[in-house]
Structure 1
Amino acid sequence: MLDITSTPLKSLLHRRRPGYSLEAPFYLSPEIFAADMETIFQRHWIFVGVEPDVPEPGDAMVVDIGGTSVVIVRDDDMNVVAFHNVCRHRGARLVHDYKTTVGNLVCRYHAWTYGLDGKLMFAEHMGENFDMSCHGLKPVHLRSLEGLLFLCLADEPPADFDDMAAVMAPYLAPHDLRNTKVAFEMDIVEPGNWKLTMENNRECYHCAGNHPELTVPLFAEGFGFAPESLDEAGRLQAERYSCLVNENHGDWEKAGFPSRCQEHLDDMVTGYRAERLPLDGDAESHTLDTKAACKKLMGKFTNHKMGALHFWTQPNSWHHFMADHAVTFSVLPLDAEHSLLRTKWLVHKDAVEGVDYDVENLKAVWVATNDQDSTLVGYCQTGARSPAYEPGPYSPHTEMLVERFCNWYVGRMTEVHGL
């Protein structure tokens, strides 16, 4: 374990001021970045993809978390399993492509060959006393939450994943993600520390002035507002939103779609938040015209107007699930000042491109929103480098969820190291 007890990180964690942003070294320091990778990304459940990334036996996907490479494989029994992407011979990287299809996992260096269950099947010239059963691939903890895939690189993963799963499975099950396909995916390298990307996501204070595409169907009020600052029109809008939430939650839950807010962002190791929120007017989905992007609905849905289920997990994901499609987001740190944002758009597996959906329409809102957010994250990263930067106060009405992310982060960093 990285010893941080005598480093500046210890004092930075101890003097963190509640209700304020973190000090600049949390966003700039390579040493703190290394501590983040060891403490957060090597020890917690990390969202990395969806079961439709590997839909058929032999399908494989590689995920790199810092210096650790993992290969996720669909085996011959249709189970999804994960292994360290390292040959047990001399440590060569085993699978080189992000996504591929294999019969077996074959090392390009000396052709050591592993089955989809990770067992070593072939290793030439190793002598008669060589025991192949002792040289299988090293497994990685993998859990599927109704089709959402989470990895944990620790020997002992946090046990409270089961608690989250018990609550969230009924929320996610109606969307039947296992019977979807990835219609489109894209990666963005954001010019900022991973915490800035997450903090930006955890509030919509910035939405009205920066996300014209997203805020057509989305109520910014769903992520907080200050009642005393509203004019008459704003007050009426907030009241209308509150009524819609109450009415829709009741109707949706009677129809078998759990909707009410579940929030454990900073009081669980595996922190999460979820709520099904209404969309404005006649909106059906996150599209430019607010209408459904896919004619073939997901899972159990028969009505396009079912709002949008928002699901966040600590430390690295957020998701939007609608009746017609879903969008998943994962953040993977690259270095102290750059992060990979990976976005996937899912539709029913039988939906036909060009007939049931148009990819450009499907992705337009979140492609624009991701680009806008990346710019904003870059602004914050640049500002953190300035000697004038100092932690600023969060809005108690619109940035309370940012505060809970920072509470979670500081709490995990201090608890893991016994500080």
Structure 2
Amino acid sequence: MSVSTPASRFSKGKLASSLPTQQLEEIKELFDNRRIGFSLDAPFYTDPTIFKLDMEGIFGQHWLYAASVAEIPEPGDYVTIDYGPTSLIVSRTDGGGVNVLHNVCRHRGARVLTEKSGSTGNMVCGYHSWTYAPDGELIHASAPGETSFDKSCFALKRAHSRIYAGLVFVCVAEEPPTDFDETAKIFTPYLAPHDLSRAKIAYQQNIVEEGNWKLVMENNRECYHCDGHPELACSLFPTWGLTDELVPPHLEEVWDRNKEAESSLEERCRRYGLPYEVVEELDTRIAGLRISREPLDGHGESFSPDGRRLSKKLLGDLRDFRLGRCSMHLQPNSWFHFLGDHVITFGVFPINEHQTLVRTTWLVADDAVEGDDYDLEQLTYTWKQTNLQDKAFVELCQTGAGSPAYEPGPYMKSEYQVEAFINWYVQRMQEHLA
């Protein structure tokens, strides 16, 4: 018997259908009455039932970023991905693909693999030693007196997976959304030249933010607060998200420098055949995205105080360090920066209604040598500081959302991507609750 497909208990609407009618109608009303252009009502950030619905309707139904292939470079390498009530094992196969299995033993439900990452052949549950093959098939479950036990009926439950441009995506829905492959056709040409199959992990940071996952995503989708990121502002133009008519007087000089750098970057992209145009469909497709290649300040090479490269080794077959950053946002849980010298991935994994794990991974060329080609502290400094600052901002908002005085506030014009994220979220949840 082959490894089982996602079980029906992950199908749409299990929690929603079990809620008391009045409670469900009140939640639907919150979604229906959501005021366009304003932040969400407090329960969206604080209510445990809405969090559980998010885990069912968003994280239980849509494609999620899980890891990069550089995190599992060899057959048998694995990472475990945890969000809400779900734990998944993402492992590399002999053929270079991935298996994604629910990290739940079919005997008594114990976690099969308990480490965040590692390498394994057969997987042995530490409770009663039920043993599973890399594809999830149960191969050992001996016990005294058992003569009629059919092991073939108890494979680990499987989830769906895709690898695009070296990024691994998972979906636990019985029938995942069908448009993700089309979305991948858009972003793959931007990312493929950086070739993550020839990259390695330089560092990975896990931060638990005391905030709802939507606040984490909202914070990422705007640069209105970027004055609070002094290290990042050295290389990332703080005019991101602005247009000519929105530039405040104190940023006019920066705006002019940004436009000049943008023109120079576009010329180099055309020279090397690299796509750079903005593609923005954050709330107009189920697998919403925004991708573009944008200039960096200073030397325009990397996230350093003067914009100079942080690793001496170019990624993939790139021929120039001065390529700015290829920035991608994907709904619902990730964003990425692909540079000439390194890549940074960000994955958002909700824990509960007021806590969220943010996993940041720095990748460099696989032949880059720490200490010779890059200094780890310098490589990670800007985004380590930025992540800590964002953590503080998110936690301020979570505290405020719990106050009796809280009410939704208006998004500024430069926060249009926040509005797009919330609009995407509301659409998906209304479909789920319908």
1:241 paired residue number: 258
Q: Does residue 415 of structure 1 match 2:431?
A: yes
Candidates 16, 20, 23, aligned match of 2:41 = 23
Q: Does residue 37 of structure 1 match 2:55?
A: yes
Question: Counterparts of 1:413 and 1:256 in 2: how far apart (Å)?
Answer: 39
Question: Counterparts of 1:327 and 1:361 in 2: how far apart (Å)?
Answer: 14
2:406 paired residue number: 389
After TM superposition, give the deviation of residue 323 of structure 1 in Å: 0.3
After TM superposition, give the deviation of residue 229 of structure 1 in Å: 5.5
Q: Is the contact made by 1:47 and 1:330 (CA closer than 8 Å) also made in structure 2?
A: yes
After TM superposition, give the deviation of residue 190 of structure 1 in Å: 0.6
- TM score, norm. by length of structure 1: 0.95
Aligned residues: 415
Aligned-partner SS, 2:142: coil
Q: Does residue 211 of structure 1 match 2:229?
A: yes
After superposition, what is the alpha-carbon deviation per residue over 1:312-358, rounded to whole angstroms, capped at 9, x for unaligned? 11111111110000111111111111111110000011111111111
Q: Is the contact made by 1:227 and 1:235 (CA closer than 8 Å) also made in structure 2?
A: no
Q: Is the contact made by 2:239 and 2:251 (CA closer than 8 Å) also made in structure 1?
A: no
2:113 paired residue number: 95
1:113-124 mapped onto 2 (5 Å cutoff): 113-124=131-142
Query: Aligned in 2, Cα 1:135/1:228: closer, same or farther, shift over 3 Å?
Result: closer
Aligned-partner SS, 1:345: strand
After TM superposition, give the deviation of residue 415 of structure 1 in Å: 1.3
After superposition, what is the alpha-carbon deviation per residue over 1:188-228, rounded to whole angstroms, capped at 9, x for unaligned? 111111111110100001102x0000011111223225625
Which deviates more, 375-384 or 218-227? 218-227
Q: Does residue 230 of structure 1 match 2:248?
A: yes
Q: Is the contact made by 1:76 and 1:116 (CA closer than 8 Å) also made in structure 2?
A: no
After TM superposition, give the deviation of residue 2 of structure 1 in Å: 2.0
Which deviates more, 161-170 or 103-112? 103-112
Question: Counterparts of 1:394 and 1:376 in 2: how far apart (Å)?
Answer: 16
Letter in 1 for 2:40: L
1:107 paired residue number: 125
Which deviates more, 114-123 or 176-185? 114-123
After TM superposition, give the deviation of residue 235 of structure 1 in Å: 3.4
Q: Does residue 157 of structure 1 match 2:209?
A: no
Aligned-partner SS, 2:239: helix
Aligned-partner SS, 2:232: coil
Candidates 150, 165, 176, aligned match of 2:195 = 176
Question: Counterparts of 1:153 and 1:229 in 2: how far apart (Å)?
Answer: 43
2:421 paired residue number: 405
Question: Counterparts of 1:387 and 1:128 in 2: how far apart (Å)?
Answer: 62
Query: Aligned in 2, Cα 1:414/1:6: closer, same or farther, shift over 3 Å?
Result: farther
1:312 paired residue number: 329
Q: Is the contact made by 1:224 and 1:399 (CA closer than 8 Å) also made in structure 2?
A: no
1:2 paired residue number: 15
1:67 paired residue number: 85
Query: Aligned in 2, Cα 1:124/1:296: closer, same or farther, shift over 3 Å?
Result: same
Candidates 64, 67, 92, aligned match of 1:46 = 64
Letter in 1 for 2:319: T
After TM superposition, give the deviation of residue 253 of structure 1 in Å: 3.4
- TM score, norm. by length of structure 2: 0.92
2:7 paired residue number: none
Q: Is the contact made by 1:288 and 1:361 (CA closer than 8 Å) also made in structure 2?
A: no
Question: Counterparts of 1:73 and 1:91 in 2: how far apart (Å)?
Answer: 20
Q: Is the contact made by 1:189 and 1:341 (CA closer than 8 Å) also made in structure 2?
A: yes
Letter in 2 for 1:48: A
Letter in 2 for 1:135: F
1:253-332 mapped onto 2 (5 Å cutoff): 253-332=270-349
Q: Is the contact made by 2:268 and 2:323 (CA closer than 8 Å) also made in structure 1?
A: no
After TM superposition, give the deviation of residue 394 of structure 1 in Å: 0.8
After TM superposition, give the deviation of residue 24 of structure 1 in Å: 1.0
Q: Is the contact made by 1:284 and 1:290 (CA closer than 8 Å) also made in structure 2?
A: yes
Aligned-partner SS, 2:233: coil
1:220 paired residue number: 238
Letter in 1 for 2:61: R
Identity, % of aligned positions: 47
The CA RMSD over aligned residues, in Å, is 1.7
After TM superposition, give the deviation of residue 150 of structure 1 in Å: 1.1
2:376 paired residue number: 359
Q: Unaligned stretches of 5+ in structure 1?
A: none
Question: Counterparts of 2:333 and 2:317 in 1: how far apart (Å)?
Answer: 28
After superposition, what is the alpha-carbon deviation per residue over 1:6-47, rounded to whole angstroms, capped at 9, x for unaligned? 432211111111111111111111111111111111111111
After TM superposition, give the deviation of residue 247 of structure 1 in Å: 4.2
Question: Counterparts of 1:103 and 1:129 in 2: how far apart (Å)?
Answer: 27
1:13 paired residue number: 31
1:135 paired residue number: 154
Question: Counterparts of 1:2 and 1:110 in 2: how far apart (Å)?
Answer: 31
Question: Counterparts of 1:214 and 1:85 in 2: how far apart (Å)?
Answer: 37
After superposition, what is the alpha-carbon deviation per residue over 1:287-330, rounded to whole angstroms, capped at 9, x for unaligned? 23422111111111121111101011111111111000011111
Question: Counterparts of 1:49 and 1:313 in 2: how far apart (Å)?
Answer: 14
Question: Counterparts of 1:304 and 1:404 in 2: how far apart (Å)?
Answer: 32
2:220 paired residue number: 201
Q: Is the contact made by 1:309 and 1:321 (CA closer than 8 Å) also made in structure 2?
A: yes
Aligned-partner SS, 2:405: coil
Aligned-partner SS, 2:360: strand
